Structure 1
Amino acid sequence: MSQRAKLIADIRNNPKGVRFEDACKVAKWLGFTSEGGSGSHKALSRPGEETGLNFQERTGGVIPPYQARQLIAMLDKYEDEV
């Protein structure tokens, strides 16, 4: 299993423990680009996609589970492009 596939599997299996850096990395693999944000926040968008992603780094370097579920929904939609 490649490192990319392992990271995606880890995100799917543990949405409560997704690291901020990993979420941003996977979003970029899916074609999302940074629209801004500062400090512990990052907003990302993808051309043609109405729904953007917004990640907030919390204590311990993880994102909130609901944001991980939003990322998983985008994986479901665009994973064939990764």
Structure 2
Amino acid sequence: MLGLGNGLCSVRRHVGRIRRTWERVINGEADANLDFDDVITLLMALGFRQRVRGSHHALMRPKLDRPLTLQRAGNKAKPYQVRQVRAVILAYNLDLEV
């Protein structure tokens, strides 16, 4: 029983982190200070599929005109790419279903 409880806690923490990342992207908070892996995890939670070639992460989703392409800036996402992510989320009215 203990293992199940710890697993649920981990899932809640993960969902909470995705929700916080979504809020920071939508609100335009700290575009230059968002963790790259958090942005990728957010996009995956929004239904994107990822293809990695070298340093380029192409994220595709049905009905999207073209893929989003992201690259790391150290462990952070590049600010202009976070703005592109925000524009896509708002243009396609994407929301988390978690």
Same fold (TM over 0.5): yes
Equivalent residue runs for 1:5-44 within 5 Å: 5-11=19-25, 12-38=28-54, 40-44=55-59
- Distance in 2 separating the partners of 1:81 and 1:50: 20
Task: Give the superposition deviation at 1:80.
Answer: 3.0
State the TM-score, normalized to the length of structure 2.
Answer: 0.67
Task: Give the superposition deviation at 1:29.
Answer: 1.5
Task: Give the superposition deviation at 1:36.
Answer: 2.9
Rg comparison, structure with higher value: 2
Task: Give the superposition deviation at 1:15.
Answer: 1.0
Runs of at least 5 residues in structure 1 that lack an aligned partner in the other structure: none
Task: Give the superposition deviation at 1:67.
Answer: 0.3
Q: 1:81 to 1:51 in 2, by over 3 A?
A: farther
Number of matched pairs: 79
- Distance in 2 separating the partners of 1:51 and 1:15: 22
Asked whether the equivalents of residues 30 and 78 of structure 1 are also in contact (C-alpha less than 8 Å), the reply is: no
- Distance in 2 separating the partners of 1:63 and 1:7: 12
State the TM-score, normalized to the length of structure 1.
Answer: 0.78
Percent identity, please.
25
Moved more, 9-18 or 66-75: 9-18
Match of 2:9 in 1: none
- 1:80 is paired with a residue whose SS is coil
